[in-house]
Structure 1
Amino acid sequence: MARLLVLACSATKRPDPGRLPALARYDGPLWRTLRAADPEGRAAKVAFLSAHYGFRDAATPIAEYDARLTQDLAERMIAGGVTTRWPRPPSPRRPDTCGIHPAAEIVSLTRHGTEPVEEIALVGGRLYVEVMHALVRGFVEMGCVRRDARVSVINGPIGRMRQDLRAWLAADRSRGGRP
């Protein structure tokens, strides 16, 4: 079964210089839980949603940054849908050649839609989950997420989110599945 975990970025990041895969760069509680619960990365494909980088595969090398998802930015991400590149150009007068759009990332994660996502977990705060839901709707229209995909939302107090994330990851092992 094709599973996808979409995690919100983390304010806590490893300060290592240069670029690190997002899975290693982010060091908040949910990311530590992911690494501990699924150290070999077999339970699901993992992507992240960042106020700076947008929607990306967690294997993407990223630099340290400091950006928060605001209501305005969340609304712009939702309005931009799956075809708006993140990060945005540094100036509106510059060409839109920065970043990558969510559609390109999901196509890569699903092998050009030949392995559509059947189960997805959206993990993060309210604004992040709102943007994630909007992106999932676009991914369904692209054929990269099945219309009947099971969608789990993991949101709430951090302790509960960590428990729910661990349980979601373990559910794949109990069924014997692989991403």
Structure 2
Amino acid sequence: MRYDGPLWRTLRAADPEGRLAQVAVLSAHFGFRDAATPIADYDARLTEDLAARMIAGGVTTRWPRPPSPRQSDTYGMQAGAEIASMTRYGAAPFEAIALVGGRLYLDVMQALLPGFAGMGCVQPNARINFINGPIGRMRQDLRRWLCEAEPAGGEQP
């Protein structure tokens, strides 16, 4: 509920009960999170430098980073832990994925996919859709993906 931009409004309108897809968010401050996980208010934008650090850190680096380098690295959450919990620790790996966002966000998400796959959270033959472009087109593409992704047997993509 923290995010309320046009894509989030499209997601809520197309999937008001949250049954069509499991949703993760890539936050410039908190890293990857299950979208159902509450987060505190923050004011940060994803920059080239931050995106490069997230990519270099892979799925095991905790976000947010400790406020001081002298603090232990038990601060924040690992992207891998968040995604693993969404797939019941690999028991229900993702079969279809839509990566939605601006270029930097897509760069980070795409770079971390092999790590999630290596953990068994993404099937090797998973269908990956990239949704990027003008906001109107992204909203259409997201709605289309959600409607096409309606799973048989009640499983979420």
TM-score, normalised via structure 1 length: 0.84
Q: 1:107 aligns with which of 84, 89, 96?
A: 84
The 8 Å contact of residues 95 and 126 in structure 2, kept in 1 or not, is answered as yes
Q: Deviations over 1:23-60 (max 9, x none)?
A: x1100000011011100001111000011000000011
Q: 1:78 aligns with which of 42, 45, 55?
A: 55
Q: 1:52 aligns with which of 29, 36, 52?
A: 29
SS of residue paired to 1:166: helix
Q: Which whole-Å CA distance do the structure 1 matches of 2:11 and 2:117 have between them? A: 25
The 8 Å contact of residues 110 and 117 in structure 1, kept in 2 or not, is answered as yes
- How far has the Cα of 1:147 moved from its partner? 1.1
Hey, what does 1:128 align to over in structure 2? 105
Residue 178 of structure 1 aligns with an amino acid whose one-letter code is E
Which sections of structure 1, spanning at least 5 residues, go unmatched? Answer: 1-23
Hey, what does 2:64 align to over in structure 1? 87
- How far has the Cα of 1:98 moved from its partner? 1.1
Hey, what does 1:8 align to over in structure 2? none
Residue 71 of structure 1 aligns with an amino acid whose one-letter code is E
Residue 141 of structure 2 aligns with an amino acid whose one-letter code is D
CA RMSD of aligned residues (A): 1.2
Structure 1 residues 173 and 92 mapped into 2: Cα distance closer, same or farther (>3 Å)? Answer: same
Count of paired positions: 156
Hey, what does 1:173 align to over in structure 2? 150
Q: 1:69 aligns with which of 40, 46, 53?
A: 46
Q: Which whole-Å CA distance do the structure 1 matches of 2:2 and 2:16 have between them? A: 15
SS of residue paired to 1:45: coil
Hey, what does 1:138 align to over in structure 2? 115
Q: Which whole-Å CA distance do the structure 2 matches of 1:151 and 1:141 have between them? A: 16
Residue 22 of structure 2 aligns with an amino acid whose one-letter code is K
Hey, what does 2:6 align to over in structure 1? 29
Which sections of structure 2, spanning at least 5 residues, go unmatched? Answer: none
Residue 150 in structure 1 maps to residue 127 in structure 2? yes
The 8 Å contact of residues 172 and 178 in structure 1, kept in 2 or not, is answered as no
The 8 Å contact of residues 20 and 151 in structure 2, kept in 1 or not, is answered as no
- How far has the Cα of 1:173 moved from its partner? 3.1
TM-score, normalised via structure 2 length: 0.96
